[in-house]
């Protein structure tokens, strides 16, 4: 009887794990709803059919000047079906301490950003936003999974919402490897 109970319990655990894996594979970046920088719901499905670079950003980081590079890449490719989706986060040495209004003011006045900014979220650890759970999941994205190591980690997303590449913070948005990957995805039908 005990063996049978253990087998049933093991089967239930395996079934739940398989269901989670199937859910993770069925999801994509464009299946999430987030809040924009003004706190309004923003359905990411509005970007379906576009190539996107999802970036966790911060205003007081050594990599903050990458906002300039992000804006330049956005300006170069936005009319070709490209978006940058920026998510402020404060997990790394509290380098994004401001409110959403302060972040928006900083980005638009200092770097003249035009790409979509979203409300501050948690990208690593307790309270991690579901979008970042998906982005870093080994079940959903085995090639690009793993914890976010720092601000300005970049995920390249295909037109159908799948993660196709990950670039760590030191890689600038306008580095050749990023541009080549963006152009490759934009060229796909």
Other CB atoms within 10 A of residue 25 CB: 13
Q: Residue 9: pLDDT band by 50, 70, 90 thresholds?
A: very low
Q: List CB contacts of 163: < 8 A, sequence separation 6 or more.
A: 29, 135, 140, 141, 143, 144, 155, 156, 157
Model pLDDT for residues 66-99, shown as the tens digit of each residue: 999 999 999 999 999 999 999 999 999 999 999 9
pLDDT at 2: 57
DSSP sequence for 16-84: HHHHHHHHHHH--GGG-EEEBTTS-EEEGGGGTTSEEEEEEE-SSSTTTTHHHHHHHHHHHHGGGTEEE
* Of 186, 182, 34, nearest in space to 118 by CA: 34
Global confidence as pTM:
0.87
Q: Which helix (H) or strand (E) holds 175?
A: none
Q: How many other C-beta atoms lie within 10 A of the C-beta of residue 98?
A: 16
Domains of the chain with CATH codes: 28-187 (3.40.30.10)
Distance of alpha carbon 172 from alpha carbon 40, whole angstroms: 29
Phi-psi region of 40 (alpha: psi -120 to 50; beta: other; left: phi over 0): beta
The residues assigned a catalytic role are 61
DSSP 8-state class, residue 93: T
State the pLDDT at residue 21.
41
């Amino acid at each position: 009887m005990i063996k049978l109970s253990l087998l049933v319990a093991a089967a239930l655990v395996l079934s739940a794990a398989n269901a989670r894996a199937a859910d993770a594979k069925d999801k994509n970046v464009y299946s999430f709803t987030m809040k924009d920088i003004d706190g309004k719901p923003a359905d990411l499905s509005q970007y379906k059919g576009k190539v996107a670079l999802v970036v966790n950003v911060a205003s007081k980081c050594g990599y903050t000047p990458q906002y300039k590079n992000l804006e330049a890449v956005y300006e170069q490719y936005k009319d070709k079906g490209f978006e940058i989706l920026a998510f402020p986060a404060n997990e790394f040495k509290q380098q994004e301490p401001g409110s959403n209004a302060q972040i928006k003011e900083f980005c638009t006045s200092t770097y003249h950003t035009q790409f979509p900014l979203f409300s501050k979220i948690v990208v690593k650890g307790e309270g991690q936003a579901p979008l970042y759970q998906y982005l870093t999941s080994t079940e959903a994205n085995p090639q690009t999974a793993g914890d976010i190591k720092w601000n300005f980690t970049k995920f390249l997303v295909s037109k159908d919402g799948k993660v196709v590449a990950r670039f760590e913070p030191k890689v600038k948005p306008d580095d050749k490897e990023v541009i080549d990957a963006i152009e490759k995805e934009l060229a796909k039908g």
